[in-house]
Amino acid sequence: MRCPYCGSADTQVKDSRPAEDNSCIRRRRVCPVCGGRFTTFERVQLRELIVIKKSGRRAPFDRDKLMRSLEVALRKRPVDPERVEQMVNGVVRQLESFGDPDVHSSQIGELVIEGLRSLDPVAYVRFASVYRDFREAKDFNTLIDELVSAETEAPERESAQDASPEPARTGKAPERA
C-alpha cells in the first residue's frame, strides 16, 4: 500500500483488527520513509458498480477515488476515519440496493453530500461546493440556508403544525359565577 503522504511504495502494517461488526478489517499502517500513519480497510465487494459520468462515459466505481475526494473535504477536520468509512459504506450499500449496477455520478454525489451533512458541516459545504460547481456567492448562501434549516427542521415542523393563532387554552378556563 502506497504511502499517501510521501508516495513511498512500501508501508508496514502495525495493527489489524476487525471493524464494523466484522464486515471489514481495519489496518493501521506506518510509512518507514516519512513516519506517516494511516488506516486502511479491507472488505468484500459483492457487486461491481458502473458509474455513468456527466459526459456519458462509463467507469467502474472507484471507492478509493471517492475516499480521496472526501479526504480533501475533511482536511484538518476532527472526524474519526471510521465514521467516514461507515458513511461511505452506507453510500455504497444504497447504490447497490438500487438494483441496477449502473449508477449516475450525480446519484453518488448527492448521497455523499447527505452523508457529510451529519458528519461534519464544514466538509459538507466544501464537498457540495466542489461537487455542485458553485460559481456565485449566492450558491453558497443557499447551501448554508439548507444546512441551517436541516438542523432545525424537526422542531420547526412540529411547532408549525401545532401552531394556532392563539395560545392553547387549558381545560381550566375560569368560569364566571
Would you tell me which residues interact with Zn ion (CB under 5 A)? 3, 5-6, 8, 31, 33-34, 36
The nearer residue to Zn ion, 1 or 34, going by C-beta atoms, is 34
Please, what is the minimum distance in Å from the beta carbon of residue 60 to Zn ion? 27
**What type of residue sits at position 125?**
V
CB of 12 to Zn ion, least distance (A): 11
Rounded least distance, CB 3 to Zn ion, Å: 3
Q: Count H helices, E strands: the chain? A: 5, 6
Q: Bridge partners of 17?
A: 26
Closest CB to Zn ion among residues 10, 102: 10
Backbone angles phi, psi at 149, to 5 degrees: -70, -30
Nearer Cβ to Zn ion, position 34 or 50? 34
Supply the minimum distance, in Å, between the C-beta of residue 27 and Zn ion: 16
Helix, strand or coil for residue 168? Answer: coil
Whole-angstrom distance, CA of residue 51 vs CA of residue 57: 8
